[in-house]
């Protein structure tokens, strides 16, 4: 929150306390909806309800749409019915559908009954689509015009419908059966001679997505073609809605957070959790992973146990367990991170995977050799025994190479069996390499020591 906005917030609280409501209304109506939302977010629940009741439906609706869904739900259910109706009718149908998905079915039903018939129909339709599909993120506010209309008539229709700013930058052209046949940008419409039919100036074969298309794919289409909005059609090519670029940005952010969380071994549900709220949801999101990995790590303990007699003879070996396991885990995490991201962005083609894994193994060998020599010398100096140095050097070389190969191979295998490669997290691969690194380390130690002792 910037200084100016903090000032506005303080003023809001003062005006509210002194019941100078007309002044307060003027102050808040002048704000950008996104800023008004920030002010609302900082108010106590009662203050927030009072402020919203003060504002016109449209102003309140725009600001409320900017709040988190949970905050929206709390607010709307706290309002008297008439106020709730005024706001819901003004919100865009896709925002209302998202909000209702947060409520209990009977609450949503009651609010739907309050709403104007046409808006309620749109909302009901949108609520029928999968949350993560084009249908789930599209809005039904768009400008569609029949192909035989003129440019002047199209502009006239735009004036009449006065759609909200975000959705009016393309005019979609449909045929008699409402099927999408073309698109025009507002600029093209203005530049065209007024009497031209839109079908003679429209771009045909417009880029469009199907209602059931995954939201990530929708984002990719908007990105590839640099669109401000993409039309959404059904099986009959009938225009059902549009996805605007601001919603695409939210999808991209959401997916990026999801990938990041998975990489850190955190469930993606964690991004919905209130970071100052109860701890139970976070426990539920993290415990299964942690406990599973702890049990998996007992496998590396089993390997260590097998070599206990060796450690009893050369106790220096125990000293390098964490270095060995940690080094392999870190090397594998690096390779995994690069591979998962490149698979996600489609940079690696299927038929080139072997080459890419082989490249990682060579990187691992080179880095392993270098680190092996350096750590081998360090171990020799530390423990005064060149044999310890040889064991450490050799083990690090082999372990880093294996770790790099494993780190790049595991996401590929996961993709092959049909899962999202992002489920392979850093913690997971590090726990896997704990076992392999112990096996390599103690085997090399046993071989070297048998040759020496």
- The residue (of 49 and 437) whose beta carbon lies closer to a copy of itself is 437
Q: Tokens 């015009």 belong to which residue? A: 145
Burial classification of residue 320, based on how many CB atoms lie within 10 Å of its CB (0-12 exposed, 13-18 middle, 19 or more buried)? buried
Span interacting with a copy of itself, options 74-82, 105-113, 174-182, 266-274, rule CB under 8 A: 266-274
- Contact pick of 41, 74, 112, 289 for a copy of itself (by CB under 8 A): 289
Span interacting with a copy of itself, options 91-99, 112-120, 126-134, 427-435, rule CB under 8 A: 427-435
Task: Annotate 231-263 with DSSP letters as a single string.
Answer: EEE-TT-BEEEEEEHHHHHHHHHHHHHHHHHHH
Binding mask 150-169 for a copy of itself (x = CB under 8 A): -----x--xx--xx-xx-xx
- Contact pick of 28, 55, 218, 248 for a copy of itself (by CB under 8 A): 248
Kindly state the smallest distance separating residue 305's Cβ from a copy of itself, in Å: 5
Span interacting with a copy of itself, options 77-85, 94-102, 126-134, 247-255, rule CB under 8 A: 247-255
431 to 450, contacts with a copy of itself by CB under 8 A?
Answer: 431, 434, 438
226 binds a copy of itself (CB under 8 A): yes
368 to 387, contacts with a copy of itself by CB under 8 A?
Answer: 370-371, 374-375, 378, 382
Instruction: List Cα–Cα distances, 322 to 50, 59, 338, in angstroms.
Output: 59, 59, 24
Instruction: List Cα–Cα distances, 373 to 392, 399, 442, in angstroms.
Output: 9, 13, 18
Binding mask 123-152 for a copy of itself (x = CB under 8 A): ------------------------------
Rounded Cα–Cα distance for residues 29 and 25 (Å): 6
User: Which H or E element spans position 221?
Assistant: helix 215-224
Q: Tokens 């406990």 belong to which residue? A: 291
Residue 45's CB: how many other CB atoms inside 10 A?
11
Q: Kindly give the pairing relationship between strand 170-174 and strand 180-185.
A: antiparallel
Q: Kindly give the pairing relationship between strand 209-210 and strand 203-204.
A: unpaired
- The residue (of 42 and 125) whose beta carbon lies closer to a copy of itself is 42
Binding mask 202-221 for a copy of itself (x = CB under 8 A): -----x--------------
294 binds a copy of itself (CB under 8 A): yes
């Amino acid at each position: 929150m910037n200084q100016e906005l903090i000032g506005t917030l303080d003023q809001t609280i003062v005006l509210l306390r002194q019941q100078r409501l007309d002044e307060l209304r003027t102050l808040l109506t002048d704000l950008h909806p996104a800023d008004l939302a920030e002010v609302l977010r900082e108010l106590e629940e009662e203050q927030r309800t009072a402020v919203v009741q003060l504002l016109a439906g449209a102003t309140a609706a725009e600001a409320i749409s900017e709040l988190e869904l949970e905050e929206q739900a709390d607010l709307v259910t706290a309002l008297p019915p008439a106020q709730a109706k005024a706001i819901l009718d003004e919100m865009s149908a896709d925002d209302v559908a998202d909000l209702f998905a947060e409520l209990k079915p009977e609450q949503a039903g009651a609010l739907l009954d309050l709403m104007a018939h046409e808006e309620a129909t749109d909302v009901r339709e949108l609520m029928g689509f999968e949350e993560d599909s084009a249908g789930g993120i599209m809005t039904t506010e768009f400008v569609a015009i029949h192909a035989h209309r003129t440019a002047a008539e199209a502009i006239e229709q735009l004036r009449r419908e006065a759609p909200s700013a975000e959705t009016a930058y393309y005019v979609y052209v449909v045929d008699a059966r409402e099927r999408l046949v073309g698109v025009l940008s507002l600029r093209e419409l203005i530049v065209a001679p007024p009497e031209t039919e839109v079908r003679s100036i429209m771009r045909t074969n417009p880029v469009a997505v199907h209602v059931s298309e995954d939201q990530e794919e929708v984002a990719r289409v908007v990105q590839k073609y640099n669109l401000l909005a993409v039309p959404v059609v059904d099986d009959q090519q009938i225009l059902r809605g549009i996805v605007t670029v601001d919603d695409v940005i939210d999808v991209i952010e959401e997916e990026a957070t999801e990938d990041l969380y998975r990489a850190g071994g955190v469930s993606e549900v964690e991004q919905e959790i209130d970071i100052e709220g109860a701890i139970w949801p976070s426990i539920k999101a993290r415990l299964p992973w942690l406990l599973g990995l702890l049990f998996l790590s007992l496998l590396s303990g089993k390997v260590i146990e097998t070599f206990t007699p060796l450690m009893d003879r050369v106790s220096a070996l125990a000293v390098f367990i964490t270095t060995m396991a940690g080094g392999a885990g870190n090397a594998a995490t690096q390779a995994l991170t690069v591979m998962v991201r490149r698979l996600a962005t489609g940079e690696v083609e299927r038929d080139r995977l072997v080459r890419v894994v082989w490249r990682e193994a060579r990187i691992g060998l080179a880095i392993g050799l270098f680190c092996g020599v350096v750590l081998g010398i360090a171990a020799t100096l530390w423990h005064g025994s060149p044999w310890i140095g040889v064991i450490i050097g050799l083990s690090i070389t082999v372990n880093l190479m294996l770790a790099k190969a494993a780190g790049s191979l595991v996401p590929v295998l996961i993709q092959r069996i049909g899962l999202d490669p992002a489920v392979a997290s850093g913690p997971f691969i590090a726990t896997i390499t704990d076992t392999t690194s112990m096996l390599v380390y103690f085997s090399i130690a046993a071989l070297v020591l048998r040759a020496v002792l």
